[in-house]
């Protein structure tokens, strides 16, 4: 399989998993697990999984001690702060509000990439992001989301998470290129674990595991292994091969895949309008990723 196809497949898988995360996470918290305890569970399970996988298949080291500072900063923004803000915010706001606000991420990725990585901001790239954003908003109902006093703090937290995650996608790219992406991800989770521990320890001690029905265990496994371990590994691989803007733009596929999941499970129906909105999103992502020389976006 060619490298560009692998990158797009990895990013598609990440979007598929994240597309289901908003609703699944709300099934678990705050009724069964409080948000900070959930973050501690996510980071702990993912860190163990990545450490085992890395020890068996990768076995790479950080060769330059100065890079540990950048790894620590990546852990703060890419693991600790963004997860804490996202899950705490999602426990206060609605899933659709959270999905809408996360659409800010690709826009901030373009801004940070231009400032930090000196990536060229082209009219085509900005047009693609705006088109994809429009399609995503229409697919999620246009006016189907609302911001009220009851959700305002959750909305603010999710927005802050979108900005922080955008910075991480840009800031960590140089590390992903210099080292094996799984090595970077492993150290990010190790450092991140120490940051989230004091936030989640008390809430974790209050969990009544005996009250969990089987489906809650399945949902927790999906969040900790699927939307944490697997997505971070795939995103790390994509960041090594592709531009930060392309990686960020794939967030617009999340509502598409969320809609498809709802249709497949019988909770929604496919209409002509929704089909058009999906094609609008794909057109936007295509504009962001397309270049006359693909190697400038995705390296072999």
Total domains, the chain: 1
Mean local confidence (pLDDT), 3-26? 83
Position with higher pLDDT, 70 vs 29 = 70
Higher pLDDT, 130 or 217: 217
Domain range enclosing 136: 3-296
Sequence-ordered list of residues with C-beta below 8 angstroms from that of 38, at least 6 positions apart, any chain? 25, 28, 29, 87, 200, 223
What percentage of residues in the chain have a pLDDT greater than 90? 22
| Average pLDDT over all residues of the chain | 81
Q: What is the pLDDT of residue 231?
A: 87
Better pLDDT: 126 or 262 = 126
Of 271 and 167, the structure prediction assigns the larger pLDDT to: 167
Inform me whether the pLDDT recorded for 163 exceeds 70: yes
Q: How far is CA 24 from CA 30, 170, 215, 223, 226, in A?
A: 12, 28, 10, 8, 12
pTM for this entry: 0.74
Cα–Cα separations (whole angstroms), residue 110 to 49, 121, 273, 292: 31, 7, 29, 20
- Does position 300 have pLDDT exceeding 50, yes or no? no
Q: Quick one: pLDDT band at residue 142, thresholds 50, 70, 90?
A: low
* pLDDT tens, position by position, 204-259: 999 999 999 999 999 999 999 988 888 888 888 887 787 777 777 787 777 677 76
**pLDDT band at residue 296 using 50, 70 and 90 as cut-offs:** very low
The 3-class SS string of 28-78 reads HCCCCCCHHHHHHHHHHHHHHHHHHHHHHHCCCCCCCCCHHHHHHHHHHHH
Cis, peptide link before residue 7, omega less than 30° from 0? no
**Range with lowest mean pLDDT among 32-41, 52-61, 88-97, 227-236:** 88-97
97-123 residue pLDDT tens: 676 677 777 778 878 888 887 777 778
Residues 63-93: tens digit of each pLDDT? 998 999 999 999 999 889 988 898 888 778 7
What are the backbone dihedrals phi and psi of residue 168, each rounded to the nearest 5 degrees, phi first?
Answer: -60, -45
pLDDT at 30: 80
Least confident range from 135-139, 208-212, 230-234, 273-277: namely: 135-139
Is residue 198 scored above 90 in pLDDT?
yes
């Amino acid at each position: 399989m060619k490298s560009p196809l692998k990158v797009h497949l990895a990013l598609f898988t990440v979007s598929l998993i994240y597309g289901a995360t908003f609703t699944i996470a709300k099934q678990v918290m705050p009724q069964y697990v409080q948000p900070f305890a959930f973050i501690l569970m996510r980071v702990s399970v993912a860190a163990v999984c990545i450490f085992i996988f890395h020890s068996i298949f990768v076995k790479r080291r950080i060769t330059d001690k100065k890079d540990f500072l950048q790894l620590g900063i990546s852990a703060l923004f890419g693991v600790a702060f963004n997860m804490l803000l996202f899950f705490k915010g999602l426990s206060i706001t609605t899933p659709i509000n959270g999905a809408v606000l996360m659409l800010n991420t690709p826009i901030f990725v373009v801004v940070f990439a231009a400032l930090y990585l000196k990536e060229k901001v082209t009219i085509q790239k900005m047009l693609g992001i705006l088109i994809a954003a429009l399609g995503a908003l229409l697919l999620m109902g246009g006016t189907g989301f609302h911001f009220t006093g009851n959700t305002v703090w959750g909305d603010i937290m999710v927005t802050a998470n979108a900005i922080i995650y955008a910075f991480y996608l840009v800031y960590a790219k140089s590390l992903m290129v210099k080292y094996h992406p799984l090595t970077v991800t492993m150290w990010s989770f190790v450092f991140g674990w120490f940051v989230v521990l004091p936030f989640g320890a008390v809430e974790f001690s209050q969990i009544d595991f005996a009250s969990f029905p089987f489906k809650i265990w399945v949902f927790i496994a999906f969040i900790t292994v699927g939307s944490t371990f697997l997505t971070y590994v795939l995103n790390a691989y994509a960041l090594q091969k592709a531009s930060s803007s392309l990686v960020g733009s794939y967030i617009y596929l999340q509502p598409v895949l969320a809609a498809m999941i709802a249709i497949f499970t019988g909770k929604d129906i496919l209409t002509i309008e929704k089909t058009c909105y999906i094609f609008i999103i794909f057109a936007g992502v295509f504009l962001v990723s397309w270049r006359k020389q693909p190697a400038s976006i995705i390296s072999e």
